[in-house]
Structure 1
Amino acid sequence: MRRTALGILAGLALGWSLAWGTTPAYAPTNEVAVFNDGFAEAKQDDCEQGSEAACQWVMIQNDIPLPPEDDQ
């Protein structure tokens, strides 16, 4: 009985030290999603700076109807 109790205590001490002595795992990141988000933000910034092509890209990605083209 005494050996069992000592074994349990030793196991708990070892388990506690292993569990609390390690750093937590970081959530995996999706590099493609991060790149795409950055690209979309850059296009939005370009549109705000006056790039017509960037504005068209942003409108298409957000399902916003494009304005009619002027045929002059």
Structure 2
Amino acid sequence: MANEGEKLEHEAEDLKGKAKEGLGKVSGDEETVGEGQREQGEAKLDKAGDKVSDAADRVKGFVKGSDDKS
């Protein structure tokens, strides 16, 4: 299971990317816009990994729980 610290880190990375993208748009700096978008993409992948990890843990718990009833 993804721990809460990792989840918060991924959310912060996403917000940082959004801020960087916005700053780049306001300043007309396309490189900064791209960096912000890249950071958001990385955060999105990390968040997806968190969800997969959480789902796998729930499945493991369910399977383990059904083994106990046998």
**TM class by smaller structure:** 0.3 to 0.5
TM-score under structure 2 length normalisation? 0.35
TM-score under structure 1 length normalisation? 0.35
Structure with bigger gyration radius: 1
Structure showing greater relative contact order (alpha-carbon pairs closer than 8 Å, 6 or more residues apart): 2
